[in-house]
């Protein structure tokens, strides 16, 4: 079963109607997924150009929505906004712009993960510190390519604004303890297929196909994280210190490694519709992406009726019959 969706305007916990809102800021982190691997494969010069192009794109979106770039982080940015809605709309704009770039440059596609939290940071010499900053950064670290993860306080402050979220449950974030996490739904979906085991999602938008990990695989990744953290907690002395450092490194790298594995298989990024073909024969859905191996899903994997509808909508989109 997919995570429950939070309907636009639904009441949120953590505040009473009529209570004056405490002053605060929305903190946003955004960076490129798998940038280290990209640098190793393409070289420093090309990686630098990519990072510069992304930070320039992100800085433009931040300024457009009234935010302030606090600092650039090599392959990403940290920004602050006086309002939560502006930060969410900005994040959505960044992901849409990256998707358009990928459609135009399919051989050089990248993805970005974004995290947003709301609170009152500590400010010193133009920089920001404190729990809200750490939370936004941890959310960005946790986000897979193409994801925007936000804190409950951001959801509360954007209620009734036509923004849709998925509730992802409570997760332990390193150094912050258990935290509730929501995912911003930013793609305008035409059709979606989720395999019966919940391992894979095929998301059809008006101009792209997105193939992403399903909830079941994400839960397995979370279990690996927990096992690593528990093991580190049982070690003491130098061994415990080294184990803790290793766990911290893996927690930062797991989302990037998962995205990289998907990329190498031809999955996990937006694929322009011109590169996608699909057919449904003998109760088997076959989706092929130019330059990569195909995906075959039988009746044990997906509902045949949904598979046939998916193929029909893809054909209509490519023919220009759906808008």
Full DSSP string of 243-286: HHHHHHHHHHHHHHHHHHHHHHTT-SSEEEGGGEEEEEETTEEE
Please give the pLDDT value at position 29. Answer: 95
Residue % of the chain over a pLDDT of 90: 24
Cβ density class 190-202: b for 16+ within 10 Å, e for less: bbebbbeebebbb
Instruction: For residues 214-230, give the mean pLDDT.
Output: 55
Which distant-in-sequence residues (6+ apart) come within 8 Å of 34 by Cβ?
110, 111, 145, 256, 259, 260, 263
Condensed to tens digits (0 to 9), the pLDDT of residues 272-303 reads 788 888 999 988 998 888 776 678 888 888 88
Domain borders along the chain are 5-186, 192-217+265-318
Cα–Cα dist 130/132, whole Å: 6
User: How does the average pLDDT of the chain come out, rounded?
Assistant: 77
Nearest to 210 by CA among 169, 168, 259: 259
pLDDT digits (tens, 9 = 90+) for 302-322: 888 888 888 898 888 888 755
**pTM for this entry:** 0.65
**Residue 79's closest CA among 147, 26, 134, 140?**
26
What class, spelled out in words, does domain 5-186 have in CATH? alpha beta
Q: How far apart are CA 294 and CA 102, in angstroms?
A: 20
Give the residue-averaged pLDDT of 117-130: 91
Q: pLDDT: is 202 or 79 the higher one?
A: 79
pLDDT of residue 15: 36
Q: Which CATH code for domain 192-217+265-318?
A: 2.30.29
What is the per-residue pLDDT across 21-71, written as a single tens digit (0 to 9) for each? 457 999 999 988 777 777 777 788 888 888 888 889 999 999 999 999 999
Order of strands, edge to edge, in the sheet holding 270-272? 189-194, 200-205, 208-213, 270-272
Closest CA to 281 of 255, 308, 316: 308
Reported as a pLDDT band with limits 50, 70 and 90, residue 229 is low
- Which of 46-50, 87-91, 217-221 has the highest mean predicted lDDT (pLDDT)? 87-91
Can you name the residues that pair with 180 across neighbouring β-strands?
Answer: 170
pLDDT average, residue stretch 225-244: 62
């Amino acid at each position: 079963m997919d995570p429950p969706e939070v309907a636009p305007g639904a009441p949120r916990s953590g505040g009473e109607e009529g209570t004056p809102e405490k002053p605060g800021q929305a903190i946003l982190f955004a960076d490129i997924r798998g940038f280290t691997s990209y640098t190793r494969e393409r070289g420093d010069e090309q990686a630098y150009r990519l990072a510069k192009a992304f930070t320039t794109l992100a800085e433009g979106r931040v300024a457009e929505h009234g935010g302030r770039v606090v600092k650039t982080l090599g392959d990403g940015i940290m920004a602050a906004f006086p309002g939560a809605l502006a930060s969410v709309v900005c994040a959505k704009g960044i992901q849409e712009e990256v998707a358009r770039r990928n459609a135009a440059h399919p051989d050089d596609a990248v993805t970005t993960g974004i995290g947003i939290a709301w609170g009152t940071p500590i400010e010193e010499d133009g920089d920001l510190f404190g729990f809200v900053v750490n939370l936004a950064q941890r959310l960005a670290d946790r986000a897979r390519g193409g994801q925007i993860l936000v804190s409950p306080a951001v959801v509360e402050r954007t209620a009734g604004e036509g923004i849709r979220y998925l509730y992802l449950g409570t997760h332990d974030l390193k150094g912050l303890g258990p935290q509730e996490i929501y995912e911003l739904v930013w793609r305008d979906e035409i059709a979606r297929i989720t395999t019966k085991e919940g391992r894979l999602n095929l998301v059809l938008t008006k101009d792209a196909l997105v193939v992403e990990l399903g909830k079941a695989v994400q839960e397995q990744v979370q279990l690996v994280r927990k096992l690593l953290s528990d093991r580190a907690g049982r070690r003491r002395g130098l061994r415990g210190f080294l184990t803790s450092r290793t766990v911290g490194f893996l927690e930062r790298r797991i989302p990037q490694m998962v995205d990289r594995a998907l990329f190498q298989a031809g999955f996990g990024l937006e694929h322009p519709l011109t590169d996608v073909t699909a057919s449904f024969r003998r109760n088997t859905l076959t989706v092929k992406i130019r330059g990569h191996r195909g995906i075959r899903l039988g009746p044990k994997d997906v509902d045949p009726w949904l598979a046939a509808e998916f193929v029909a909508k893809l054909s209509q989109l490519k023919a220009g019959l759906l808008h």
